[in-house]
Each structure stands twice: as structure tokens, then as C-alpha cells.
Amino acid sequence: MKKFRSNWFRVAVEGATSDKRTIKRSWLEQAAKNFNPTTYGARIWLEHFRSLLPDGPFKAYGDVTAVKAEEVEINGQTKLALFAQIEPTADLIALNKAKQKIYTSIEIDDSFSDTGEAYIVGLAVTDSPASLGTDVLAFSAQKPESSPFKDRHYSATSMFTEAVETELTFEEIEDKPGLGAQLFSKVQALLSGKQAKDDGEFAHISQAVEAVAEHVKDLPDQLAAEKKFSADLKTSVDKLSNDFNELITRLGETQDHSQTKRPPATGGEGAVLTAY
């Protein structure tokens, strides 16, 4: 099955309106830092409706795969923006090709799973920017009991950002297995004979494996013997070094009786002079 990945596109900016509070810079920083699909997968929904059914118009339309934060310039001001990358379903690609659902809005939880930090828990696509525009979001923030979004949230602390127009492009990606999976598959293929031309070739493979096993079976004992020999050799060298140092010390302290004493000094008339 073919897989596709989108370009990076902007989904939120600090200071933007949500249906509860103004989006803070720190939330975007935390959302970019914390996002991990294995921790919690942020799915793509229509108008933030989360259906429990696998079919129908409000099923999931893909997944957010990556998030990053970058500064952008808007009307002469530098602001922090959040960008997302998604893996769409075939239905979302079809909608996009038909120029449908071209506005996006994220659902951000400012205290995800009681961590006290923000996390993206969903992304919505819509055709009507007014449905998630500043006016309706501001109204919802002021009168939460009358909010049209009150039953759509992931949690009590999550909120929807205003919808922004998004230009999505998709490229096909190759879903390569990991190196370990490739090696396992290769060995399986060899052992099952998928790549062997006949039983004789498989027998040769078995013989080669047995030969390698026979060659390396004594390797642990050989390594242990080498290690013991190195340890014994070091002990012997250390002992010889100590003995040599002791010998040098003793020789330095021993008088050499083979040397003759200096004869006493005499004066001009042969008298022995006394040293003063």
C-alpha cells in the first residue's frame, strides 16, 4: 500500500485565538518538544468531530507525524509558529485534489495527561474558516456553556485554534523495513530455500553454517586462555621489575672493597699533613 507524507505547513502562531484562551508561546515550544506519535498519536478529523466508526464522513483522515516550532515574521512582528507534517489517508488526498478541506486547525492541550505541559492531540480540516474563525472562537471562550465545541474536545484542558488556510502537497514515501528486519527476512529466505535454486544449494548453505559454527565454537575458551596468559605475563614482568629495582638499590648502598684508599698527603719533607 502506498504511503504519502505532506510538506511542512503552519498550524498555529503565538497570540492566536482559541475557543478558550490566547495561544501562548510556551505552549508551542512545549508542543514541538513533547510531540511523539508513540506517546499519543494526533489524528486528523473533519471539523474536530471524533467518530467512533471506521466509515462515514467523520472518520479519521490520517495522522500528524512530526511537529516543529520556528519563528516567522507577520506584519513586521516576529512570532513563534508551529508547523506540522502529516501522513494522509487516500480520502484526504482525494479531498485535497478536489480543493476541499483546505483550512486546518489544531487541538492543543496545555496540560496533557497532567504533565503540566502542552501537547498536540489532534488536527482538523475544514472548508469553512468561519466555523473555526476568531469570532466563533472568541464567543466560545466567553460563553463556554454555549460553545458549539464543548462536546468535541479531547479533554477539559484542550482547545481549538483558529483555522488557517493551508496549501498541502504530498509526496510518496517508501516504507522501508529496519536493518534488523531486513537481515531477519534475508536469513529466513535463505533458510526456507526461497533463494536456493535446489536442495543441493540449501545443503551447501547448511554446511557453510556448520563450518562457521565449528570454527568459532572454541573461540570463548581461546579468548579466556589468552586473557589468563596476559595476566600471568604481566605478573611476571611486574615481579622482575621489582627485583631489578631492589638490586639497583642494594648495589648503590654496598661499598666496593676492590678500590684502593687514597694515600695520605705529605708535605715537602715527607711529613704527614694534618687537615685543619
Question: Each residue's pLDDT tens digit in the chain (276 positions)?
Answer: 788 898 899 888 898 877 677 889 999 999 999 999 999 999 998 888 888 777 778 899 999 999 999 999 988 889 999 999 999 999 999 988 888 888 888 889 988 988 889 999 999 888 776 556 556 656 666 766 766 666 677 777 778 787 788 877 888 887 665 555 565 566 666 656 555 555 666 676 667 677 666 766 677 777 777 777 777 777 877 887 787 787 777 777 776 666 555 666 555 555 555 554
Does residue 39 sit in the same domain as residue 161?
Answer: yes
Q: Is the pTM of this model over 0.85?
A: no
DSSP code, position 161: B
Does residue 104 sit in the same domain as residue 164?
Answer: yes
For the chain, what is the domain count? 2
Does residue 144 sit in the same domain as residue 202?
Answer: no
11: in domain: yes
Per DSSP (E only), the strands in the chain are 3-6, 9-13, 43-46, 62-74, 77-88, 103-109, 119-126, 158-160, 164-165, 170-173
Comparing CA positions, the residue from 16, 18, 19, 17 lying closest to residue 143 is 19
| pLDDT value of residue 117 | 95
Does residue 81 sit in the same domain as residue 210?
Answer: no
> Which of 117, 141, 173 is the last residue in one of the domains?
173
118: in domain: yes
Does residue 73 sit in the same domain as residue 114?
Answer: yes
The SS3 call for residue 96 is helix
Does residue 208 sit in the same domain as residue 160?
Answer: no
Yes or no: say if 9 and 104 are a contact pair by the CB < 8 Å rule.
Answer: yes
Yes or no: say if 13 and 182 are a contact pair by the CB < 8 Å rule.
Answer: no
| pLDDT value of residue 26 | 94
Does residue 191 sit in the same domain as residue 124?
Answer: no
Does residue 184 sit in the same domain as residue 91?
Answer: no
263: in domain: no
DSSP code, position 266: B
245: in domain: no
| pLDDT value of residue 83 | 93
Residue listed under C-alpha cell 466509515: 55
| pLDDT value of residue 85 | 93
Does residue 89 sit in the same domain as residue 209?
Answer: no
Does residue 30 sit in the same domain as residue 96?
Answer: yes
**Residue 118, C-beta contacts closer than 8 angstroms, at least 6 positions apart:** 26, 27, 28, 30, 31, 34, 108, 109, 110, 111, 112
Does residue 135 sit in the same domain as residue 191?
Answer: no
| pLDDT value of residue 34 | 95
Does residue 114 sit in the same domain as residue 32?
Answer: yes
The SS3 call for residue 184 is helix
The SS3 call for residue 149 is coil
88: in domain: yes
CA distance 259 to 117: 90
| pLDDT value of residue 229 | 76
**How many beta carbons lie within 10 A of that of residue 264, not counting itself?**
9
| pLDDT value of residue 33 | 95
Yes or no: say if 97 and 105 are a contact pair by the CB < 8 Å rule.
Answer: no
Structural domain harbouring 33: 3-173
Active site residues: 19, 48, 105
Rg (CA), the chain: 40
